[in-house]
Structure 1
């Protein structure tokens, strides 16, 4: 576990050149390379196998180990493991009452502070567990803020300014909700939630307050096999998630990815080893209350910093090909930058997320692979993705056109892989 044990009140702050775009028919089969199995959409398995054959250790290329990186929630597993942990914690009274809800997030609005105070009450001492198991109003407010960034009355839960390509307050808020707990405690909650979610039937839900949430999580067999095949072929495989790092580590161990290869939101700990509302920073951004988490461009920053040792402002920039991943996979706009940085294959699971799907369908370098979700895939999106007008997430939170590297506009694309 990589955390800074410091007082909260003293905080301070790939590979060689690739061949031409893959052509599955012409590639000779290397029988010494580990082989993928399982059912994939179209030629995706063959394309991934070709990258493994050409860039893995079985190809006999000297030099640095190639790197692969994957988002976690809804990329390697079906559903969200951080949400599963929150669900378990709410049903077992594991959220501690803060001295002020405003302390939990730099951007929490007055409306959210009032809503949480009224719903969760002040009947227990500061630092004591809130009775969320028997307080549906409190549970509702927490879940609505986490899921939608608003209160149950519809008011904005977060206010102010932030870089929308480096963070999103409601994601940063999740580890902040567990302030006061030790990492070991949060890890134990994640383990219990994992056992529960893996045992729940596929498709099952549960009701928390008035919210209906998934009750199950499943590892995707194809992704488990892909990661293990990459590892056998000499790749260093990393998980890069916008979830809480102790939670993600519990789950990533289940596919053979250790804590050193798991990157997620890293909380700063106080002198007693307890989680604070502060997060470690990236790319020259010091410890803050969530301004530089692994989110959109933030995922690139954390990969550059933690895997390739690029620090300071340069960590926010695309690196040369020797300092980029070979294979990268994701499912949402939060993954678009680091998935696009990969030099061998950009794998995207289709969840109808505009910016990443525009990049995938545009397929500028011929290396984008789109796959429906392996469990309960979404139906075809009826309307074209608005790539030419409003699919890009601007740093100020507005929407704009998706642009290619040469500045040309990506046209709108129909949804064809579902």
Structure 2
């Protein structure tokens, strides 16, 4: 959708990367002058955190921020968006708004919307949504609840309303999930400004809805509200004041995420998400830009699990080709990472200062958080409507690792030892 010219950094900046830990080449020219660590911006004492988490995060800010005497390019913090910086999912909110306002254009063929869409899903969508409206014109999803149900069920669960698999075939399960990639593909034919206007309308509606409110979409019930977490807003603000370069890295649609990220002071250049390829008329296509040498694909590589590491390496540190998929040496990794789900586990684990995790009972990332192999994992309940304790332990030793070819396996530490099963204690 746009190109970030991260490869054109001078040799002086590259040299500074080698000599300096935990920094971003993108911000070398704007480092703040060093001061005493005691004068570092402080996290608000008025906003509650679990246990000593505020102090642990403050320690990272003090140690790694330019305010603590660090010289050279600025350190980097990166956050997932949905259910990490905000409560609930802004992609779902935007899709729900689009469905209730007839903004999805009928494709000439549903099979063309995804490389993995099954014949069962194609037939179900065709039957539910019909062919009465011409291809390229809006579907009447505000009144056609069968069509709305089929679309949202596939987005939500990867299955049709009848329970048939909506996606099949081969994909790397640590680089993409077809139903996530499918949402930007559903907006094919629209311009980026149009999609941004839908996201803005959904944002106004979701922020106005009271906490706990729900909406009905066909026969589905989903949250009607979204809220910025004040603790995360404060953390991002404090990090930026302390000299950090702060990024959002999301598996949602980039125009949608950009509309929301402005609410915490993060601009377009610092918001990374699924970046759709545009046609010559500037309209969204079913292709997205790739990472790590994949080129443009129909969803084979998105910012998802290992894909988030790839985009951080590529867009922030200027690392291209296969190397972008690999864990980098400490001076070319983020200082602080924040997430809430398995889709975030790789980049959050790459952080060298603190790994912040909001507990949504997601197995792989919570196994990492509770194992706390390096003593830097910071687990916190969700700030709004936290979940109750998980029943039973997390099956870290047998079924926590999301395998590239699909399925689950034992989760291993860096030394090859197996992570033992973990109890859910932070809630």
Give aligned pairs, total. 399
Q: Does 1:344 align with 2:353?
A: yes
Q: Among 184, 205, 229, which residue is 1:220 paired with? A: 229
CA offset digits 1:114-144 (Å, max 9, x no partner): 0000000000001000000000000000010
The CA deviation at 1:31 is: 3.3
2:10 is matched with: none
CA offset digits 1:129-181 (Å, max 9, x no partner): 00000000000000100000000000000010100000000000000000000
The CA deviation at 1:30 is: 3.6
* Partner Cα distance (1:382, 1:391) in 2: 16
Q: Does 1:371 align with 2:371?
A: no
* Partner Cα distance (1:60, 1:359) in 2: 31
DSSP-derived class of the 2:416 partner? coil
Q: Does 1:234 align with 2:238?
A: no
Q: Does 1:401 align with 2:410?
A: yes
Give 4+ residue runs of structure 1 displaced > 3 Å after superposition. 14-18
**Alpha-carbon RMSD:** 1.2
The correspondence of residues 198-347 of structure 1 with structure 2, limited to 5 A, is 198-347=207-356
The correspondence of residues 14-413 of structure 1 with structure 2, limited to 5 A, is 16=20, 30-37=37-44, 38-413=47-422
The CA deviation at 1:230 is: 0.2
Aligned partners of 1:336 and 1:356 also within 8 Å? yes
Distance change >3 Å, CA 100–CA 3, structure 1 → 2: farther
DSSP-derived class of the 1:132 partner? coil
* Partner Cα distance (2:138, 2:333) in 1: 44
The CA deviation at 1:209 is: 0.6
The CA deviation at 1:60 is: 1.4
Aligned partners of 1:75 and 1:330 also within 8 Å? yes
Gaps of 5+ in 2: 5-16, 23-35
* Partner Cα distance (2:367, 2:38) in 1: 36
DSSP-derived class of the 1:369 partner? strand
CA offset digits 1:361-388 (Å, max 9, x no partner): 0000000000000000000001100000
Aligned partners of 1:3 and 1:268 also within 8 Å? no
CA offset digits 1:201-252 (Å, max 9, x no partner): 0000011110001100000000000000000000000000000000000000
* Partner Cα distance (1:3, 1:293) in 2: 16
Q: TM-score, normalized by length of structure 1?
A: 0.94
Aligned partners of 2:250 and 2:303 also within 8 Å? yes
1:414 is matched with: 423
DSSP-derived class of the 2:389 partner? coil
DSSP-derived class of the 1:355 partner? helix
Q: TM-score, normalized by length of structure 2?
A: 0.92
Aligned partners of 1:165 and 1:395 also within 8 Å? yes
Gaps of 5+ in 1: 5-13, 19-28
DSSP-derived class of the 1:346 partner? strand
* Partner Cα distance (1:189, 1:77) in 2: 18
The CA deviation at 1:61 is: 1.4
* Partner Cα distance (1:410, 1:268) in 2: 40
1:21 is matched with: none
The CA deviation at 1:2 is: 1.6
